[in-house]
Amino acid sequence: MSNQYISTSSDWTFEQIMRYDKEISRIASAYGLDTYPNQIEIISAEQMMDAYSSQGMPLGYHHWSFGKHFVSTEQNYRRGQMGLAYEIVINSNPCIAYLMEENTMMMQALVIAHAAYGHNSFFKNNYLFKTWTNADAIIDYLLFAKNFIKECETRYGETEVELLLDSCHALMNHGVDRYCRPSRLSADEERLRQSEREEHLQLQVNDLWRTIPQKENKDTVANEPNYPSEPQENILYFIEKNAPLLKPWQREVVRITRKVAQYFYPQRQTQVMNEGWATFWHYTILNTLYDEGLVNDGFMVEFLRSHTSVVAQPSYNSPYYSGINPYTLGFSMMSDIKRICENPTDEDRHWFPEIAGSDWKKTMDFAMRHFKDESFILQYLSPKLIREMKLFSILDDDTRLKLEVTAIHNDDGYLQIRRSLADQYNLSKREPNIQIHNVDRNGDRSLTLRHTVHNRQPLDKSLTDVMKHLTRLWGFTVRLETIDEKNKVEVAHECIVEN
Amino acid sequence: MTQVIDRRVNGKRKSAVNRQRFLKRFKLQIKKAVSESIDKRSITNVGNGKKISIPPKDISEPAFHHGQGGQRENILPGNTDFIAGDRINRPPKSGSGSGSEASNEGEGNEDFMFELSRDEFIEFFFEDLALPDLVKTQLTAATDFKSIRAGHTSDGVPTNINIIRSLKGALARRIALRAPHKKHLRDAEEELKKAIEAQNEAAASSLRREIELLKKKIASIPFIDSFDLRYNNRTLVPKPTSQAVMFCLMDVSGSMDEERKNIAKRFFTLLYLFLTKNYEHIDLVFIRHHTTAKEVDEDEFFHSRETGGTVVSSALDMMHKIILDRYPTNEWNIYGAQASDGDNWHDDSAVCKDILGNKIMPLVQYYAYVEITAERHQLLWKEYETIAEIQSNFAMQDIKGLEDIYPVFRRLFKKQMA
């Protein structure tokens, strides 16, 4: 028996990594995981910090903010305040997974199962990733972006480019399409059509403004249709297409940051699912390895220790509490789906009639493909799990003196807890709803944004800085209006540009 | 199909560019932090990497987020004893991490802390500063030679014989020269054996003679020959002067109070830091004086108090003596830094001018004098001014308060236009 073990010590070798990968791959496909081909890269701790600070992009353009993140990551790591992630995985085809050289053999196997098969299959099959990102082209596109920005730096000066990027970064979270479907990004086309697009864009912009000098009487002005005809949620897109004073290269830079933001948008919407899925599979696959006698007891003990600390969820009143751990929530939900399929209770049959007793592999595969965090929780969070995690809901209203417990894990509370938890992962509620409302085409060219206030939640103070950045991009006066639940509109902030 | 790639070999310090950009971007803030940090450290300690903190406001990356307030509902895990409808007090501000989790990370109120490497720290300190004539001195200072090993030669003085090498050579030579004789000897001995067995006396005796001859030949090969000798070889390489000595002279008479000493310390520290950037090894000599001068250690230099009058020339005299005793100018770059409040025994100032101008200035690379006073300059300043007119490597400045120190230092060592 014992000579079957793939490894018996904690030091890893390339042969053993290959061997583990082969076995894990076999098990994964037996469970029906559909993945991109893998590219496993061994990196050092320092390279891991590099990858960290550039948002996990394998090649990013240069910017001070990445340096800032690097500096603070390095600092924390050196002081031992944090361990580095064991792995980073990139949504590309082939799927790139970084393994840190410090990892033990067990860790490497875990990471291969987690990233190279778990995350990988999620990237390939989840509808958000399929719709919004193009795994084949991302590496090429990032390379194109890096080179383009480098070229701009040589041509127009580092400072100029840096300031522009600052402004774009400030608006990145509002540089994504949330509702309409994107056009695919392809690097080759991108390069070919870029110059064409520059001219074309400039032409369009000029067209938009051609009517300005004409002085007309007020009646006709009042009858002018509002521009844009519908509110625009993607602020960076609007800037790229319509900002009057931007030069073609600046538009291209805006476009690049917008595309990068869009690329990461699905990841921000599927954190719980993605981690839950990957954690579920590393757990299942490594257990299968053990059942097959390919790893020894020592391996399993080390694995379980690491796994349990990954999915630990401190209570709200623990000093270690820092929000709900997405690994815990995701892993518990995935495991719970399997349980409901295999051993449903009466409660499960009542709550989940359509999946109770079904084939767990098919059910989980369906869940993985067609949901994001918000809808996944809304669909699959079971009363049993709410009880296990002892979830409760707190209403924080600044007009009241005290906090109120609105629901706990009982029959009356399940639905409400499920709904609020789902809302907590709804990006469009977590981020303020700010859209482009109007451009004064016949007057001072000022741009008006509207913030639709939700539950009286105000904007953070950094709003003033963001507005300055927006003004820099737009080139004319920019103002932000808020519209509250009673449809009362107020000007919240204004950055005036004197002409 | 999976590919495993070892990336450790390439792509090191990928973020170095970004780090540099970060430092460049926040140059002003970092510089401020750097100059604030020096007075907390001992002179020789200043250069060792430095934790820098920058207010978070300056380096934040703004974005539209929700701020505090309004109405929100949060789900928390680990309920123990709440039931629906319970009213609870708001937790104190510090523990309110529950509410707005990940949404506003990196927006803490604490300063952003990070560490500068030693080089970066000093770079920030000395950006666009340079001691005048420094480059020139360094280029021409290579008057000292040091001898370094350079293989072996077959010729040399007996003290340099390399015994191991020589004996190795001898051994090889002996083996090589003996080999043919030994072969003949073996053959002859075998034939002798046969001859004895065949009882051929004549052949045996001629063989015995031959064997004897061969043995003599082998014995006559010398154990060591002059041909075997190897000598250690050394060559002389010009040695750049990489050491400097810095003299810190300070007036510790009653009129120098703690604040003035603090200013002086800053001044000395800055000079020290500058020297560490240019020299491998630096000696510090602290001379304090009132009416008499005394060489002391750093702690005593800055912290013990004396009272009494002031005779500046005593310190200058001592500095001169120490240079002659311990720091020959062909081996040491000598820097002098003097801090005083300008008070001096009236008759002494002319003496100071004489010692400094005629004895010390020819020996030093650079001499800087700062006068820490808010009052009118006294005679010492006027005397020194005449030196400054003649000597290009003499600088003097007056400082009024702590905030003056950095600009003054910059002016002192400002890069001189060629």
pLDDT 10s digits, B363-386: 888 788 888 877 777 788 888 888
A123-137, A479-493, B124-138, B176-190 — which is least confidently predicted? B124-138
Which residues of B fall within a CB distance of 8 Å from A169? 61, 63
B211 or B116, which is more confident: B211
Contact: B88, A402; criterion CB under 8 Å: yes
Q: How far is B108 from chain A (nearest CA, A)?
A: 13
- Domain closes at, from B192, B210, B233: B233
Same-domain pairing of A388 and A468: no
**Are B307 and B220 found together in one domain?**
no
Highest-confidence segment of A110-119, B46-55, B398-407: A110-119
In a domain, A480, yes or no: yes
Asked if the Cβ–Cβ distance from A391 to B104 is below 8 Å, we say no
Write out pLDDT tens, residues B226-264: 888 899 888 877 665 567 888 988 887 777 777 777 778
Sign of CA dihedral A12, A14, A20, A24: positive
Residues B300 and B224 in one domain: no
Clarify whether residues B183 and B48 are in a common domain: no
Q: Are residues B258 and B221 in the same domain?
A: no
With CA atoms as reference, the chain B residue closest to A404 would be: B87
Q: For A425-466, how does the pLDDT look when each residue is reduced to its tens digit (9 = 90+)?
A: 988 788 899 999 999 888 888 999 999 988 888 888 888 889
Q: Report d(CA B59, CA B26) in Å as an integer.
A: 8
Q: Which residues of B234-262 are buried (b: 16+ CB within 10 A; e: fewer)?
A: eeeeeeebeebbbbbbbbbbebbeeebbe
Chains A, B: CB pairs < 8 Å:
269
Mean pLDDT in chain A? 86
Q: Does A460 sit within 8 Å of B60, measured CB to CB?
A: no
CB contact under 8 A, A403 and B77: no
* Minimal Cβ distance to A174: which of B5, B64, B78: B64
pLDDT of residue A202: 65
Same domain, residue pair B301 and B378: yes
Residue A288 binned pLDDT confidence (cut-offs 50, 70, 90): very high
Q: Please tell me whether residues B370 and B249 are part of one structural domain.
A: yes
Residue B269 and residue B219 in one domain: no
Q: Which strands sit side by side in the sheet containing A447-452, from one edge to the other?
A: A433-439, A447-452, A478-483, A489-495
Q: Largest alpha-carbon pair distance within chain B?
A: 133
**Smallest Cα distance from B120 to chain A, Å:** 13
CA distance B404 to chain A (A): 31
Residues A12 and A117 in one domain: yes
CB-CB contact of B279 with B333 (8 Å): yes
Query: Cα(B207)–Cα(B195) distance, rounded to whole angstroms?
Result: 9
Evaluate whether residue B401 is within a structural domain.
yes
The alpha carbon of B417 is separated from its chain's Cα centroid by a whole number of angstroms, namely: 28
Q: What is the mean pLDDT of residues A170-186?
A: 75
A138-147, A445-454, B124-133, B152-161: least confidently modelled range:
B124-133
Residue B193 pLDDT grade (very low, low, confident, very high; cuts 50, 70, 90): confident
Are A21 and B71 in contact (CB < 8 Å)? no
Best to test chain A binding among B10, B73, B82 (most A CBs inside 10 Å): B73
Tokens 């600088």 belong to which residue? B395
* Chain A interface includes B103 (CB < 8 A): yes
Distance CA A453, CA A434 (A): 9
Contact criterion met (CB < 8 Å) for B66 and A65: no
Does residue B61 sit at the A interface (CB-CB below 8 Å)?
Answer: yes
Q: What pLDDT does residue A339 have?
A: 95
Question: Which among B18, B78, B97 is the nearest to A315, CB-wise?
Answer: B78
- By residue range, what is the domain housing residue A446? 431-495
Return the amino acid letter for A214.
Answer: Q
Searching chain B, which residue's CA lies closest to the CA of residue A163?
B25
Q: For strands B112-116 and B50-54, give the pairing.
A: antiparallel
Strands of the sheet containing B3-6, edge to edge, are: A87-90, A95-100, A38-43, B3-6
Residue B415: per-residue pLDDT: 45
B417 in A contact zone (CB under 8 Å):
no
A465 and A478 fall within a common domain: yes
Do B194 and B122 share a structural domain? no
Contact B80 A397 (CB under 8 A): no
| pLDDT tops 50 at residue B137 | no
* A495 bridge partner residues: A478
Greater model confidence, A56 or A445: A445
Model pLDDT, residue A206? 59
Q: What is the DSSP string of A171-237?
A: TGGGSS-SSSPPPPP-HHHHHHHHHHHHHHHHHHHHHHHTTTT----HHHHHHSPPSSSS-BS-HHH
- Is the pLDDT higher at A24 or at A193? A24
Closest CA to A27 of A239, A315, A287: A287
Q: Name the closest residue on chain B to residue A72, using Cα atoms.
A: B114
Contact B67 A44 (CB under 8 A): no
Residue A52 predicted with pLDDT over 80? no
* Separation in Å, CA of A463 to nearest CA in chain B: 6
Interchain contact B14–A (C-beta under 8 A): yes
Contact (CB<8Å) B64/A50? no
Question: Do B247 and B211 belong together in one domain?
Answer: no
Q: Which of B22, B63, B64 sits opposite A64 (nearest CB)?
A: B22
Asked if residue A335 belongs to a domain, the reply is yes
Q: Are A236 and A261 in contact (CB under 8 A)?
A: yes
Of A68, A431, A460, the CB nearest to B67: A460
Instruction: Give the three-class secondary structure for B203.
Output: helix
Cα distances from A54 to residues A60, A174, B14, B19, in angstroms, run 6, 19, 10, 12
pLDDT at B57: 65
Is 90 exceeded by the pLDDT of residue A26? yes
Pick from B7, B66, B85: CB nearest A459: B66
**Dihedral angle computed from the Cα positions of residues B209, B214, B219 and B224, in that order, rounded to the nearest 10 degrees:** 160
User: Is the minimum CB–CB distance between B15 and chain A shorter than 8 Å?
Assistant: yes
Do B384 and B371 touch, CB atoms closer than 8 A?
no
Instruction: State the Cα–Cα distance between residues B43 and A235, nearest whole angstrom.
Output: 53
**Mean per-residue pLDDT, A68-97:** 76
CA terminus-to-terminus distance, chain B: 65
Query: Does some domain include residue B354?
Result: yes
Calculate mean pLDDT across residues B322-344: 84
Q: How close does chain A come to B96, measured CA to CA in Å?
A: 10
Which of A136-145, A196-205, B30-39 has the highest average model confidence (pLDDT)?
A: A136-145
**pLDDT at position B221, please?**
87
Check residue A481 and give its pLDDT. Answer: 92
**What is the extent of the structural domain holding B291?**
241-412
Whether B15 sits inside 8 A of A66 (CB atoms) is yes
pLDDT tens digit sequence for A300-345: 999 999 899 889 999 988 888 888 999 999 999 999 999 999 999 9
Judge residue A456's burial from the number of C-beta atoms within 10 Å of its C-beta, 0-12 exposed, 13-18 middle, 19 or more buried.
middle
Q: How close is the nearest chain A Cα to the Cα of B57, in Å?
A: 9
Q: Is the CB of A63 less than 8 angstroms away from the CB of B103? A: no
Q: Do A67 and B7 touch (CB under 8 A)?
A: no
* Three-class DSSP category at A166: helix
Question: Cα torsion at B269, B275, B280, B281 (round to 10°)?
Answer: -60
Q: Which residues of B touch A41 (CB under 8 A)?
A: 4-7
Shared-domain flag, residues B224 and B246: no
How close, in Å, is residue B36 to chain A by CA atoms?
21
- pLDDT of the residue at A282: 94
Q: Which residue of A has its CA nearest to B54?
A: A68
Query: Would A465 be classed as within a structural domain?
Result: yes
Q: Are residues B169 and B248 in the same domain?
A: no
Residues 6+ apart with CB under 8 A from B118: B47, B48, B49
Say what the pTM is. Answer: 0.69
Confidence of residue A25 (pLDDT cuts 50, 70, 90): very high
Residue B81 lies in a domain: no
Tokens of B376: 């009118």
pLDDT band at B130 (very low <50, low <70, confident <90, very high): very low
Nearest CA in chain A to B75: A393
A460·B112 Cβ contact <8 A = no
Please say whether the beta carbons of A349 and A356 come within 8 A: yes
Contact B77 A49 (CB under 8 A): no
Query: What would the mean pLDDT of B288-297 be, rounded to a whole number?
Result: 85
Listed residues A395, A428, A461: the one ending a domain: A428
Nearest residue of B to residue A41 by CA position?
Answer: B5
Least CB–CB distance from B11: residue in A47, A66, A314: A47
CA distance A114 to A277: 9
Residue B2 lies in a domain: no
Structural domains counted in chain A = 3
Question: Which of A162, A170, A392 shows the shortest C-beta gap to B79?
Answer: A392
Q: List the CATH number of the domain containing B284.
A: 3.40.50.410
Minimal C-alpha gap between A297 and chain B (Å): 27
Question: Which residues lie below 8 Å from residue A247, measured CB to CB, with a gap of 6+?
Answer: none
Mean pLDDT of A380-397: 93
Query: Which residue has 């300031």 as its token pair?
Result: A163
Q: Is B62 on the interface with A (CB under 8 A)?
A: yes
Q: B379 to each of B290, B353, B382, B386, how far by Cα in Å?
A: 17, 11, 5, 11
For residue B124, the 8-state DSSP code is H
Assigned token pair, A281: 């599979």
d(CA A227, CA A244): 14
pLDDT value for B407: 60
Better-scored residue on pLDDT, A58 or A494: A494
Does residue A452 form part of some domain? yes
Is the pLDDT higher at B306 or at A150? Answer: A150
Q: pLDDT higher for A86 or A352?
A: A352
> In this structure, are B121 and B180 located in the same domain?
no
* pLDDT band, residue A418 (cuts 50/70/90): very high
Asked if the structure places residue A76 within a domain, the reply is: yes
Q: Hey, are the CB atoms on A324 and B75 less than 8 Å from each other? A: yes
CB contact under 8 A, B85 and A63: no
pLDDT at B206 over 60: yes
Q: In the prediction, which pLDDT does B341 show?
A: 83
- Sequence-separated (6 or more) residues with CB below 8 Å from residue B220: none
Encoded tokens for B126 = 């000395």
Task: Return the structure tokens found at A123.
Answer: 């990237």
pLDDT at A361 over 90: yes
CB within 8 Å: B63 and A170: yes
- Checking if the pLDDT of B353 tops 80, the result is yes
CA of A432 vs chain B CAs: smallest distance (Å): 6
Average pLDDT over residues A487-495: 86
Tell me the backbone φ, ψ of residue B243, rounded to 5 degrees: -130, 150
Test A323 with B97 for CB contact under 8 angstroms. yes
Q: B97 and chain A: CB distance < 8 Å anywhere?
A: yes
Domain membership of residue A158 (yes or no) is: no
A170 within a domain of the structure (yes/no): no
In a domain, A324, yes or no: yes
Q: For position B103, what pLDDT does the model report?
A: 34
| Nearby residues of B128 by Cβ (< 8 Å), 6 or more positions away | B415
The reply to whether residue B73 touches residue A65, judged by beta carbons under 8 angstroms, is no
In this prediction, residue B67 carries a pLDDT of 84
In total, how many domains does chain B have?
A: 3
